[in-house]
Each structure stands twice: as structure tokens, then as C-alpha cells.
């Protein structure tokens, strides 16, 4: 393996840690601390916008390093690889889940999150706020499944005929 492969894997792991860590940091650290703060909505908005910016950079980086990792390991980008080998099927699942993460993130960032914060400012109706919370949770779950599949793939890509 070349040094570029190890650099790419390292960056992939750091980006995944940033992505998952950020999704855990907001509900576990920020939200409980600002619950009673008078500028809670403004703080949440600023924090969310900052993470959104870096989060999308992380997602682009994860896609780039993931594809680069495959290339540097000499994996074929063929239908047969993705559909017929155990390893390729797991990579396919990872790619499909990544597409799901992109869709959930886009919906969360561009619709639910923004509308939820707007709702909190003007009324007690919290439908979008609830959707924002649940889309964030779904995204975290998808990211954790991706991380698990990454571990499986790094260990040979087979765990009992999955």
C-alpha cells in the first residue's frame, strides 16, 4: 500500500469522527446548556449554521476519500464487484446509506431545521421542530451504521454471510 492510501484512510476516519462527533455534540452538550438561555434560538441557529457549513465539507471529503480509498486499494468500479462479491455488496450498502445521509441532511438543513427555528420564534406549533429533531436522529443512526460498515470493511468485509 502506498503512503497516499494511508493518508486517505486517516482523513476518512478524521472526517467521520468530525461528522458523528458534531451530531452528538449538539444534542448532548449544546442543547442542554442553552435550554433556559434567553438567546437560545439565536445560539442554536448560529451553531447549526456553522456546523452545517463544515458538515457539508466533511460529507464531500468522506465521499472523496471513500472513493479514493477504493481506487488506491485496486478495487474495480464494476457492476460485478458491487453486486456479486461480499465485500462489494457491503461497499454498495455503504454508498446507498451515504446517499440516504445526503438526502436526510439536505432535508434537515434546508427545510426542517430552518423552519423549526422559525416556528420556535413565532408560535407554539413545533411540527417542524419535531421533524428537525427526528431527521437529525435518523442521520446520526445512518452515520453510525456507516461507521460500523467501515469497521467491517476494514477487517475483510465479511461477518458470517451478511
H/E stretch holding 79: helix 79-84
CA distance 37 to 24: 20
| Least reliable range by pLDDT among 40-54, 93-107, 118-132 | 118-132
Q: What is the DSSP string of 45-68?
A: HHHHHHHHHHHHHHHHHHHHHHHH
pLDDT at 25 over 60: yes
What is the rounded average pLDDT of the residues 103-113? Answer: 83
Residue 144's pLDDT is 96
pTM of the model: 0.85
- Provide the residue count of the chain: 162
Higher-confidence residue of 28 and 109: namely 28
Residue 131's pLDDT is 76
CA dihedral 65, 25, 101, 14 (to 10 degrees): 10
What is the rounded average pLDDT of the residues 61-77? Answer: 94
Amino acid at each position: 500500500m502506498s503512503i497516499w492510501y494511508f493518508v486517505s484512510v486517516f482523513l476518512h476516519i478524521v472526517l467521520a469522527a468530525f461528522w458523528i462527533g458534531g451530531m452528538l455534540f449538539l444534542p448532548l452538550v449544546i442543547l442542554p446548556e442553552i435550554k433556559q438561555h434567553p438567546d437560545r434560538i439565536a445560539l442554536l441557529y448560529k451553531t447549526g449554521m456553522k456546523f452545517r457549513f463544515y458538515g457539508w465539507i466533511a460529507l464531500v471529503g468522506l465521499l472523496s476519500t471513500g472513493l479514493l480509498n477504493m481506487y488506491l486499494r485496486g478495487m474495480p468500479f464494476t457492476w460485478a464487484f458491487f453486486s456479486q462479491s461480499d465485500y462489494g455488496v457491503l461497499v454498495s450498502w455503504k454508498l446507498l446509506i451515504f446517499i440516504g445521509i445526503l438526502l436526510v441532511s439536505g432535508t434537515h438543513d434546508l427545510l426542517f431545521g430552518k423552519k423549526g427555528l422559525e416556528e420556535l420564534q413565532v408560535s407554539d406549533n413545533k411540527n417542524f421542530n419535531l421533524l428537525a429533531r427526528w431527521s437529525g436522529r435518523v442521520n446520526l443512526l445512518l452515520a453510525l451504521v456507516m461507521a460500523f460498515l467501515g469497521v467491517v470493511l476494514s477487517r475483510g468485509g465479511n461477518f458470517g454471510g451478511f
